[in-house]
Amino acid sequence: MNITICVYHLHPFIVQQQQHFKSDFIAVSHRPFVRPSHQFARHFRMALRRLKKELAELNKELVMGYTAAPMDDGRDMYHWKASIKGPSESPYEGGTFHLDIVFRRDYPFTPPTVKFDTIIYHPNVGERGDICLDILKQMWAPSLTISKVLLSISSLLCDPNPNSALRQDIAIMYRDNREEYNRNAREWTKNHAMR
């Protein structure tokens, strides 16, 4: 069995209180030693395999309503561009909304960062394109895919959540004056998503 001894410098106060230690360095681990670079490489390969699999499934499904692909003709598998068609019977109908997706090297154990590139009038989308969606934060699970994320964002366009708004003024408009909200959303869609 390999034993790794990890040495950490203890805070001087702790050392002063723990006189029975002969040194101010102590910590032992029973785990086999794995070089950080090897661990990083393993996560990197796992993320890359997963992203390639998701891309193949997206291309196979040919889902109506959204598309996604890596940047630079597939040379950067960790940076994708996506687009979502405005859902029918919503104020976003007829628009195409572009998104920027960045995957960390430990994907799928951490969620991707997804932002709107297209300006949109929506309470759950910040001025810089940030999206307030639980599955992109605390409700993320490794079983989720980018296809499910895009479907959830499309659903959010149909059904905003004013209780977790990034833009309170738009959330208030959505709650208090739906007709004006729809008019503004249609106007912004026409000006920014129908080019």
Query: Would residue 157 count as lying in a domain?
Result: yes
Joined tokens for residue 178: 């739906």
122 vs 82: CA distance, rounded Å = 18
Query: Would residue 2 count as lying in a domain?
Result: no
- Which DSSP letter does residue 134 get? G
68 vs 72: CA distance, rounded Å = 13
Nearest to 64 by CA among 39, 83, 81: 83
Q: What is the dihedral of CA 63, 121, 193, 66, to 10 degrees?
A: -10
Among 131, 132, 133, 150, the active-site one is 132
Query: Would residue 30 count as lying in a domain?
Result: no
Which pLDDT tens digit goes with each residue over 121-155?
999 999 999 999 999 999 999 999 999 999 999 99
Query: Would residue 37 count as lying in a domain?
Result: no
Task: Give one DSSP letter per residue of 68-100, joined into a string.
Answer: EEEEGGGTEEEEEEEEEEPPTTSTTTT-EEEEE
CB 92, CB 156: distance < 8 Å: no
Average pLDDT over residues 9-21: 41
Query: Would residue 186 count as lying in a domain?
Result: yes
Which of 46-50, 55-59, 110-114 has maximum average pLDDT? 110-114
CB 87, CB 189: distance < 8 Å: no
Q: Is 158 a catalytic residue?
A: no
Query: Would residue 3 count as lying in a domain?
Result: no
The CATH number linked to 184 is: 3.10.110.10
Query: Would residue 65 count as lying in a domain?
Result: yes
In one-letter notation, the amino acid at residue 184 is N
39 vs 143: CA distance, rounded Å = 21
Query: Would residue 1 count as lying in a domain?
Result: no
The larger pLDDT score, comparing residue 16 to residue 56, is at 56
Q: What is the pTM of this model?
A: 0.77
Domains in the chain: how many in total? Answer: 1
Which pLDDT tens digit goes with each residue over 73-99?
878 899 999 999 999 999 999 999 999
Residue span of the structural domain in which 182 resides: 51-192
- CA separation (Å) from 95 to 28, 77, 137, 175? 59, 27, 26, 23
